[in-house]
Every structure is written in C-alpha cells, then in structure tokens.
Amino acid sequence: MANTQTLEIPIAGMDCAECTQHVRQAIASLPGVKEVNVFLTSEKAVVRLDPTLVDLPLIHKAVASAGYSAPTPAAPPPARPLANLTRPVLTLFGLVFGVVLFIVVVGEWLGLFEAITEQVPWPLGWIIVGAAGYSIFRNVIRAALKGQITSHTLMSVGAVAALVVGEWATAVVVVFFMRVGDYAEHFTTERARRAVKNLTAMAPQTARVERDDAEQEVPVEEVRVGETIIVRPGERIPVDGEVIAGQATVDQATITGEAMPVEVGPGSHVFAATMAKLGSLRVRTTRIGADTTFGRVVKMVEEAEAHRAEVQRIADKFSAYYLPIVAGIAALTFLLSGNALATTAVLVVACSCSFALATPIAMLASIGAGAKRGLLIKGGKYLELLARADVLLLDKTGTLTLGQPQITDVIPLNGLSATDILALAAAAEHYSEHPLAEAVRTAARAQNLALAEPSHFEAIPGMGVRVKLDGHLITVGNRRMIPAAKSLPVVAELEAQGKTLLFLARDNELAGVLAAADILRPEVPAALAAVRGLGVRQIELLTGDNERVAGTLAEKLGVAYRAKLLPEDKIAVVKDYQAKGHTVVMVGDGVNDAPALAQADVGIAMGAAGTDIAIEAAHVALMREDWTLVPEVLRIARRTMGVVKMNIAFTAVYNVVGLTLAAFGILPPILAAAAQSLPDLGILANSSRLLRQR
C-alpha cells in the first residue's frame, strides 16, 4: 500500500457512456495502474496506481491515444483545429442533407424521385456520405484499429454496405440519424452533467475571514481550520463550522433537500453552500473544500457511476456480441435470398447503441433527481438492489426515535399539582448531568416554569439526586432511591409501556412520578405502511435496548424485533437473511450501526448531514432525519428499474421486428435507415422522465 497513489484526472471530449469505456481501457492497459473509474458527468478519471511504474504524462498519452484529452485544471483543453473546425461544419452539412433526404424518402415511397436519385453519379454520393459522416467514420476506424467496437461500428458498416449496392441516399440517411442520436445522447448527458455542475457552483469561491483584527476576503481554499468566518444576510456559508456568535435563518436545501429554513445560533453547526437568509453569523471553521459535507455530497454524486448495476453489466456484454450476431443474420440473409438490398437493410436497421443506453441514462437521471431532494444514492447498483429488496431492518435509537429522552407523563401525588412536581424535579436536577435530568429541565423550560435555586446538592451514582429546596428535602431518583414507589399501580402501567420512571419525594414522602421515553418520530408509522405497500413484507427492529422497551415499540409499529443486540449481533442477523436469499436493506444512524449498514445489501444512513461515518458506511444517505425519504427512495428505485426494463424490452422487440422485416425484404434500406435511430430517441425520452420524479 505504500506505493499506491490516487489521482483525479480531468478528461475532455467524452460525450457518451461508450467514451468512458474507451478511456478506462486505455488507462487500465498501462503497467502500474491498479484501478480506474471514469465518470462521464463529472468528466474525470480516478486512477489508483503505483507511482514508481506510471506517471501523469504517460496517462495523458494513453488518454490521447484513445481520442480524448486530459487538460490540466488550470488550462483549457488543448485545441484540435481540425476537429474544432470540421465537427460543427460537417454536422450542419449532414443535417442539411438529412432534411433534404427526408423529402427524398417520401418521394421514393410515392415513386416520384426514383429517376432523380438514379441520375446522381456514385462518386458524388460517396463524397456526400464521406463529408457528412467524416468524424463518425474516423472514430470507428480508430477504434477498429485498437480492436474496439463502438455503437457506431454497425451503422457505419451499414452505411458502407448501402454505398456498395448503390443506395447512397440510404447511407446519408444513416449518417443523419447517427448525428441525431449523438446529439440526443449528448443533450441528455449534458442535462445530467449540468446537474452536477450546478451543484458544484453553489459553493462560494471566497470567504470573509477575521485576521489581524480585520475582515479579509480570501479564496475559500486559503481558509484554515479554526479561523472565524463572517457571514452576512443573503450570503452562502463557505465552510462547515460552529456558530460562535449571531442568529440567522439558514436555507439548508442544498444539503438536506428540505425547503423550510432552520434557525441557528451559538453552538449550532452550519454547512458549506447553505444560505443565511436573515441575520449574520460568526462561524468557527471545522472543515473546508472537499472535506465539507457539501464537498462529500458532490463527490458522491460525481462518482455514483462507479457502482454499476448488474443489469447494466449484462447489457454491456450483450452489446459486445451484438455486432457478430447481426453480421451473421446479414450473411444468412444473403446466402438464402441473394438479395443485396435486404442484406444491406439488415445491417442498417440494427441499433446496437440502444442496448448500451438502456440502463446508464436512467440510472444517472434518478441519482441526479434524488440528490436534489436530499437522497444520496452511491450508484445504479444500489438502485437495482433497492428495487428488489424484501427485508427491512431498523435501528431504534436515533433512527426510529429522536434519540433523546423526553418527559411524557407527570403524575402528582399527595396534593401537589403536575406543575409543582415538574418544577421541583427540574430545580433538584439543576446540577445533574444525567440525560434524564436534561429531559426534566427541557420539559420545565417548555412550560416557562420559575425554578428555585437548590442548596446542598448531592448526586448518588446509579440512583438519583438529593437537594435542599426552600427548607424541604427533595429527592429525585429511581425505585432504589425511593423504595415506597414499588407499590403504586401506575408504576406497573407505565413500565409496561416501556417508559423509564423517576420518583420525587418531599421530606421523605413520595410526592410524584415522572415518566420519560425516547419519542418515536411521528412520520414513522405512515412511512412503514408505505414500505409494506411497496412489497417489503419482512420488517424487523434490531436494538440494544431491553426486551420491554423493544417489545412495546415493535408492537406499536406492527414489526418483529430482537433486543439486547451488540453491533456484531446485528451483522449476524443481516448475514442470516442474506444466506436465505433475501435482499436486505438496513436503516440506521450511521454511528454504532456502521458495520451492519456496510454488511447489508443496501445500508441507508438516517440524517447523514455532517456525519463522516454515515456517508462512508452507507450506500444511501438521507441528508435529513425524515422517514418519508425511506419509502421515497424505494419508489425511485422501483420506478427506475421499471424504466430500465421498459427500455431493454422496447429495444429487444424493436430490433427483432426490424431485423425480421429487413431480412424478408419488407423493409427497404432507406426506411431501415430512418427506423434505426428511433430506439435511441425512445430510450432517451423514456429515461428523461426520471429527471422529473415527484
């Protein structure tokens, strides 16, 4: 590992999923390269290598040999005059001739232009096709010399076959639709790419820093951890940090996807790329740049392409075998019928790139749409697994519940009111650091109770506290502290509900009971009902709490449960389900649940904003603590896979029908040329629906 280095290299010139494969193969062939991931949307390659065997110039040379460039971040992509000049000119040239040929197609169908097309000299037809398809044919030949097959290889062969049999108009129509398909794919890719670029653009480029008793505006990369940042109303926060002064309303939609702004003040944590709408802040920097929560979000979205779905791998493999299959059908057509036009039509109508497009475009669209709503999905692989999930495992504390005990019941005894009991308990717990003491104080603050100052405070470990208050001895603690509490009927009733009890005695006489519980998130029951409605039948609660607490919560939610579990026990449960053939989704808070999240087929981290462990361990990160996002991500996954299956089915049926009609001479070459691009356009249109998911 000492000789391993990871480099991020920008790549220019990639327009399609196929381009990433060519770049990946070129870099991976170098000695010393251990792993390569190439990302279309973020236009970069992440390379893990041995620096003693391969260096950056060698990688740049390999990228250039594949037909792309690796510009330095500070410099624009190197100019390629011929390509820069010919591509737009020849594309326009091809489009103009394509429009003209549409008229010719109609004319030929009506039998009006046959005499005209026959009078065009064949050299002129070859020149027209060569000029219109120059860049396409050049790339196909370049790939062929390296033993590579591209989506345009088959169509180029069809165009050449059309020229050979004298169907120059057919060849031009093929080139025209290759151009149309390229632009449609480029447009869809740019939409996905623009989503990442727009996300990146939200991060401020400068920050106002306190230095030498003055404010200085500096590039954000020059800010140091620990420095104080000034944020004024209407400005985006440039760093992750802790508010040390000021109050503001902050729009955190870029991180959490939540439209409602939040109020922050001293002690609050704020995130880079969020906006202070009202009020100003002084923020102590804790993270900058790529280390911020926003930076990690962008990185996850950029690199989601690395985790490719199994259905995508199958489609990629099929695409590699598709050309020999079509060539075989064309050869068989010619041997059986001797019809050169039918053979040409077979080569022209076949559309190989539609198989390659069927999956990645849909996956990228859903991942981008999810990121806008605070759903970070690490790749298409996890969308595919989510779509077939049948087991949902749940952590309790901090996941199903708020993670902080709250006072739920105050029961007065011996003439005191509930308000009296709460005020006495809060005053007695004034100096206690126990979580239940904080729950009591919080409940008292919520009612704006005036609290007396205790004297003679004494904490008894494992039992409670004892204080003097207005001349009375006040004791607050568990039943070991106040044995008389055992006989109360209400005690058994509250404990049966899984609540933790505190007893209050005044002058050694039992005066009241306070019950505390970790409150269930209010949206959980409806969210679990929605999950069941999506086909996940087995839902189980895994918790380290005792049987009574776990059983009470599980019964309320209508789920199975296992209690008193350690982290390794949760992993064992996940493995047991997986061994039985189930696809397991685990939802946790990403801290003590990190091992189980990593073991599950899909680990979902709840409220991952700012949490390193959650973002690293989970496969899906919910950037806000909202259980409605769990059924939403399942719905997105199922809808995505539905679109993928529709794309694949449409492509398969279309190609089978097209090849059959062409082989039997029913579909003439010029109509086959017009028909071959329709699967691409259909797939792109169908997949783009996912960008507008509600």
Query: DSSP for 420-485?
Result: HHHHHHHHHTTT--SHHHHHHHHHHHHTT---PPPEEEEEETTTEEEEEETTEEEEEE-TTT-GGG
Token pair, residue 447, equals: 């009612």
Q: Cα–Cα distance between 521 and 394 in angstroms, integer?
A: 13
Which residue would you say has higher pLDDT here, 148 or 324?
Answer: 324
pLDDT at 652 over 50: yes
CB count, 10 Å around CB of 325?
Answer: 14
Residue 110 lies in a domain: yes
pTM of the model: 0.69
Residue 477 lies in a domain: yes
Question: Which residues sit opposite 605 in a β-bridge?
Answer: 588, 621
Which residue would you say has higher pLDDT here, 502 or 92?
Answer: 502
Give the three-state DSSP class for 392. Answer: strand
pLDDT at 322 over 90: no
Final residue belonging to a domain, choices 497, 520, 543: 520
**Are the C-beta atoms of 421 and 512 separated by less than 8 Å?**
yes
Could you tell me if 317 and 389 lie in one domain?
Answer: no
Could you tell me if 253 and 183 lie in one domain?
Answer: no
* Of 69-83, 199-213, 567-581, 608-622, highest mean pLDDT: 567-581
Instruction: Please report the pLDDT score of residue 77 as a whole number.
Output: 42
**Are the C-beta atoms of 581 and 635 separated by less than 8 Å?**
no
For residue 521, the 8-state DSSP code is P
291 is catalytic: no
Could you tell me if 502 and 557 lie in one domain?
Answer: no
pLDDT at 109 over 70: no
Between the two ends of the chain, the Cα-to-Cα distance in Å is 45
Q: Cα–Cα distance between 128 and 121 in angstroms, integer?
A: 11
CA angle 304, 240, 592 (to 5 degrees): 65
Q: Which residue among 182, 240, 251, 395 is the active-site one?
A: 395
pLDDT at 410 over 50: yes
Of 59, 106, 298, 180, nearest in space to 680 by CA: 180
Q: Which domain holds residue 316?
A: 82-195+304-361+642-692
Residue 61 lies in a domain: yes
Could you tell me if 395 and 412 lie in one domain?
Answer: no
* Phi, psi for 353 (deg, rounded to 5): -70, -20
For residue 69, the 8-state DSSP code is B
pLDDT at 249 over 90: no
Q: Kindly give the pairing relationship between strand 391-394 and strand 538-542.
A: parallel
* Of 199-213, 277-291, 518-532, highest mean pLDDT: 518-532
Q: In what order do the strands lie in the sheet with 375-377?
A: 375-377, 620-622, 602-606, 584-588, 391-394, 538-542, 560-562
Residues in CB range of 530: below 8 A, 6 or more apart: 628, 631
Residues in CB range of 259: below 8 A, 6 or more apart: 253
Q: Count of domains in the chain? A: 5
Could you tell me if 387 and 536 lie in one domain?
Answer: yes
Q: What is the mean pLDDT of residues 82-94?
A: 43
Could you tell me if 182 and 324 lie in one domain?
Answer: yes
